Each structure stands twice: as C-alpha cells, then as structure tokens.
C-alpha cells in the first residue's frame, strides 16, 4: 500500500524510478517540453524535482528553463522538494541571485554531494531544510537481473583471453574554458592514447560503454567514440557496446571489467556499485563531490586539464594493486545514504 494518502497528487519535474519504488507512487512526470506543465503543477499537492545538475550557469538556457519551473511552483504556493540534486557552480552574479530567490522558497533540498552544499551556503540559500545524502542511482536494485541474463551479457562480450578495461567517454563543451575546441581535442587524444597503452602495454581488451544515446549529437556518447576511434591503433582489441541496455544490464557488463575509466558520472556509479576500481574524469563538480564523499578523490582527474602522463600513472597504479585498491571501491555506505534520501521525503510527506 502506498505511503501517500489516497488522492494525493505528486508532480515530478524529472523522473526518478528509485524514489517512486521507495514511496510506492506513480506520479505525474514532466515529459520534455510538456505543454501541460502549468495544469499539472496547479493540480499537484507537491512538486518533486529529481536528480540532475541543472542549477548552474554552464548552460543559461537549460538553467533558466529549470529555474522557471521551480519558480512557477513556489509562486503557486506548492511544497517543492529538490531530490538528488547537484547545484552550482555559478560564475555569474545574476544566476546565483535568481537561484537564491527561488530555492529559499522551497521546503526541502536533498543533495547528492557536499560541494553543492558549499555552493548553497555561498549564494545564501538557508531557508529550506538541506541534507547531503547520495545520488539516487546508488539505491538501484541490481538483484532484479536474473542469473541467466547476467550470463548472457557476459557471453556477449565474447571469449576473454585477456583482462578488460571499461571506458565511458562523452562530448563536452568546456563552458569555463577560453579554448573549448582545443580542450576537447586534447581530451579525445588522451583517451585514445590511454586505449592504445592499455592494449599494447597492459594487454587489455578495451570495452567502450555508452551511457547516453540521445538523438542530440552533443549528448550522444557514440559521437565522442566515433571522434576518438580514428586515433586508436588496434581497433580489433576495442569492443563497443551497441545494444540498448537497461542500467541493471549495463551494471552487469561493467561488473565484468578489471578496471573502469569513466567520464559519465552514472557509468562511474555503476562501477562503484559493482566494486570495480575506477578512475573518474570529472566534467562537472558533481563527480568530484561524489568521489570525495567516498574518500576516493585521489582517483579523479578534471577533464579540462587532463594530461596523458597523469592518467597513465593512475592506470598503472590500479593495475599493479588491483586487489588492495579494489577493496576501497565499495559503495555500501553510499547505498545506505541514498536510501535515507527516500526516508527524508517520506518524513516530509507525513507532515503535509
């Protein structure tokens, strides 16, 4: 039975399946440019804004769209909860002031990493209750995948006579850099060269794992793969995941890797859930924040300043000490923190 009373209406600005399961609800969810936003918002008893890193000024249009949705909700005197969010950074005064104006009228903010709390303090958000827990993805139930399906996914990688390294790459526009095209080409070159090194020096097969296959070329991970692959020498030792897999299935594939090098944050979370030693490439502070929460900040490189020698040093260290280092990559504490996020929302709902 649902923990929310009958007839209680929840409108979710961004979908979050793990929260729905915990609350046993089927909320109304905003889908893309849903023109019924205003009607759904007006009819709802509570507004949930789940996940994402939208409240920063890296992309002003995206920022304004999401902030307007929250602004409209608070102007309608709706209780607004931000769930599993990353907030900041802000480089401009006006976006930070607008964020403070709106967020100080929300009721509850649940953050997925501590750097966001620092930004809220810096811009003066102090009215709502604020908690730092963990990304909602850490609460994902990986046991939903039956053993036969796991075996099938492992077999799809082919017969393995060598260790495997999983890699996640993405396109990025380097919003804070004066030379974004050069920085992006440097990132692609570094990733291609580390693939070459893993194949030639370590003897590893490299598996490229996409997390986003959006029709938008800028968000589609295959775009970055196609731009990197011409720089790779031994293409026959590179495998590309091309099927459309669920997060649980992707976790099973990543679980077959010896180590993982990830740019997409949720690919990194799947690796952490499977206990795979990880080198994270941070394109936004959320990655650094989540790794810091786990005392794993040593294994983070920033995408805008990534250098091949630094990445290779970390790769070699992980390969040399896989067993001892691997023990540090346990996500159990993060799983509990993530589940507590849902508890906080439940407590809030009981008070309404």
| Domain contains 338 | no
Query: Which of 93, 114, 132 is the endpoint of a domain?
Result: 132
Q: Which pTM value belongs to this model?
A: 0.91
pLDDT of residue 116: 97
Is residue 31 over pLDDT 90?
Answer: no
Q: Say yes or no: 61 and 93 in one domain.
A: yes
pLDDT bucket at 325, cuts 50 / 70 / 90: confident
Q: Say yes or no: 175 and 286 in one domain.
A: yes
- Lowest mean pLDDT across 9-13, 36-40, 134-138: 9-13
Which residue reads 């067993």 in tokens? 323
Is residue 5 over pLDDT 60?
Answer: no
- Lowest mean pLDDT across 26-30, 61-65, 79-83, 111-115: 26-30
pLDDT bucket at 86, cuts 50 / 70 / 90: very high
- For residues 117 and 123, give the distance between their C-alpha atoms in angstroms, rounded to a whole number: 10
Distances (CA, A) of 244 to 143, 155, 240, 241, 247: 19, 16, 12, 8, 10
Which residue intervals of the chain are DSSP H helices?
Answer: 17-23, 37-43, 60-75, 93-103, 114-123, 147-156, 180-197, 221-228, 247-254, 265-273, 285-293, 308-320, 322-326, 332-351
pLDDT bucket at 6, cuts 50 / 70 / 90: very low
Q: Which tens digits make up the pLDDT trace of 250-277?
A: 999 999 999 999 999 999 999 999 999 9
- For residues 347 and 245, give the distance between their C-alpha atoms in angstroms, rounded to a whole number: 34
| Domain contains 87 | yes
| Domain contains 160 | yes
Q: Say yes or no: 41 and 147 in one domain.
A: no
Q: Say yes or no: 306 and 197 in one domain.
A: yes
pLDDT bucket at 305, cuts 50 / 70 / 90: very high
| Contact criterion met (CB below 8 Å) for 253 and 80 | no
Q: Say yes or no: 320 and 194 in one domain.
A: yes
CATH number at residue 198: 3.40.50.2000
- Lowest mean pLDDT across 124-128, 165-169, 317-321: 317-321
- Lowest mean pLDDT across 5-14, 162-171, 198-207: 5-14
The mean pLDDT of 30-54, rounded to a whole number, is 81
Q: Which helix (H) or strand (E) holds 158?
A: none
Is residue 15 over pLDDT 70?
Answer: no
Closest CA to 69 of 109, 98, 39, 38: 38
The mean pLDDT of 69-98, rounded to a whole number, is 95
- For residues 35 and 29, give the distance between their C-alpha atoms in angstroms, rounded to a whole number: 12
Q: Which tens digits make up the pLDDT trace of 180-221?
A: 999 999 999 999 999 999 999 999 999 999 999 988 888 999
The mean pLDDT of 85-95, rounded to a whole number, is 95
Is residue 82 over pLDDT 70?
Answer: yes
Beta-bridged to residue 167, according to DSSP, are 208, 261
pLDDT > 70 fraction of the chain, expressed in percent and rounded: 88
Q: Say yes or no: 203 and 63 in one domain.
A: no
pLDDT of residue 2: 44
How confident is the prediction for the chain on average, in pLDDT? 89
pLDDT of residue 156: 67
Closest CA to 126 of 106, 140, 151: 106
Closest CA to 147 of 275, 257, 255: 255
Q: Map residue 166 onto helix, strand or coil.
A: strand
| Domain contains 286 | yes
- For residues 247 and 196, give the distance between their C-alpha atoms in angstroms, rounded to a whole number: 28
- For residues 113 and 120, give the distance between their C-alpha atoms in angstroms, rounded to a whole number: 12
Q: Say yes or no: 157 and 125 in one domain.
A: no
Q: Say yes or no: 150 and 120 in one domain.
A: no
Q: Say yes or no: 58 and 206 in one domain.
A: no
How many structural domains compose the chain?
2
pLDDT of residue 328: 86
pLDDT bucket at 37, cuts 50 / 70 / 90: confident
- Lowest mean pLDDT across 1-15, 46-60, 89-103: 1-15
| Domain contains 177 | yes
pLDDT of residue 74: 96
The mean pLDDT of 119-133, rounded to a whole number, is 98
Q: Say yes or no: 124 and 145 in one domain.
A: no
Look at 349 and 110; give whichever has higher pLDDT: 110
Distances (CA, A) of 64 to 46, 90, 103: 21, 13, 13
| Domain contains 341 | no
Beta-bridged to residue 261, according to DSSP, are 167, 279
The mean pLDDT of 17-46, rounded to a whole number, is 74
Query: Which of 76, 106, 132 is the endpoint of a domain?
Result: 132
pLDDT of residue 214: 86
The mean pLDDT of 164-193, rounded to a whole number, is 96
Q: Say yes or no: 115 and 175 in one domain.
A: no
| Domain contains 45 | yes
Q: Say yes or no: 97 and 146 in one domain.
A: no
Domain limits for position 160: 141-332
């Amino acid at each position: 039975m649902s923990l929310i009373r009958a007839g209680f209406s929840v409108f979710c600005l961004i979908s979050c399946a793990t929260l729905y399961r915990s609350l046993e609800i089927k909320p109304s969810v905003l889908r893309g440019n849903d023109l019924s936003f205003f009607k759904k918002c007006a009819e709802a008893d509570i507004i949930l804004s789940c996940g994402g890193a939208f409240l920063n000024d890296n992309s002003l249009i995206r920022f304004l769209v999401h902030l307007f949705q929250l602004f409209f909700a608070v102007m309608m005197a709706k209780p607004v909860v931000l769930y599993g969010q990353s907030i900041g950074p802000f480089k401009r005064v006006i976006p930070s002031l607008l964020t403070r104006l709106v967020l100080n009228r929300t009721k509850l903010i649940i953050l997925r990493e501590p750097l966001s709390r620092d930004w809220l303090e810096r811009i003066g958000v102090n009215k709502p209750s604020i908690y730092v827990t963990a990304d909602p993805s850490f609460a994902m139930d990986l046991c939903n995948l039956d053993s036969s399906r796991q075996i099938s996914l492992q077999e799809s990688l082919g017969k393995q006579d060598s260790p495997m390294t999983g890699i996640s790459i993405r396109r990025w526009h380097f919003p804070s850099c004066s030379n974004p095209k050069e920085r992006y080409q440097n990132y692609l070159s570094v990733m291609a060269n580390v693939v070459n090194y893993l194949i030639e020096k370590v003897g590893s097969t490299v598996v490229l794992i996409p997390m986003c296959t959006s029709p938008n070329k800028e968000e589609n991970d295959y775009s970055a793969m196609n731009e990197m692959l011409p720089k790779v020498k031994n293409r026959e030792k590179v495998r590309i995941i091309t099927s459309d897999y669920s997060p649980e299935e992707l976790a099973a594939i990543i679980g077959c890797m010896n180590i993982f090098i990830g740019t997409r944050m949720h690919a990194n979370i799947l690796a952490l859930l499977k206990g795979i030693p990880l080198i994270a490439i941070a394109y936004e502070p959320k990655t650094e924040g989540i790794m810091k929460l786990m005392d794993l900040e040593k294994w983070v490189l920033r995408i805008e300043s990534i250098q091949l020698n630094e990445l290779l040093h970390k790769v070699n260290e992980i390969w040399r000490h896989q067993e001892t280092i691997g023990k540090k990559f346990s996500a159990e504490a993060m799983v509990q923190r993530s589940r507590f996020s849902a508890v906080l929302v439940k407590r809030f709902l009981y008070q309404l």
